[in-house]
């Protein structure tokens, strides 16, 4: 998973709760969040679309990202 530094965002917690191991990396476009599974980008969004501060369980974007990672296997 490539991941721009996102303080207080629940993506890592939501994915780790499903048992995924994460590698957080900065990417050149700091306005973008990318989830990469086995070298393939499975999810991408604009950082300004994210809902900061929640646990991610009710965030539709977190759920979309979680499903994208699960479907990658």
d(C-alpha 49, C-alpha 69), whole Å: 19
Question: Residue 6 contacts by C-beta under 8 Å, 6 or more apart in sequence?
Answer: 33, 47, 50, 52
Residue 20 pLDDT greater than 60, yes or no: yes
Write out pLDDT tens, residues 27-63.
888 888 899 999 999 999 988 887 766 667 777 888 8
Residue 5 pLDDT greater than 70, yes or no: no
């Amino acid at each position: 998973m490539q991941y721009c530094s996102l303080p207080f965002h629940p993506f890592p917690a939501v994915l780790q709760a499903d048992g995924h191991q994460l590698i957080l990396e900065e990417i050149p476009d700091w306005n973008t969040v990318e989830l990469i599974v086995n070298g393939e980008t499975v999810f991408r969004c604009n950082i300004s679309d994210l809902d900061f501060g929640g646990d991610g369980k009710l965030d539709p974007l977190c759920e979309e990202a979680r499903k994208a990672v699960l479907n990658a296997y």
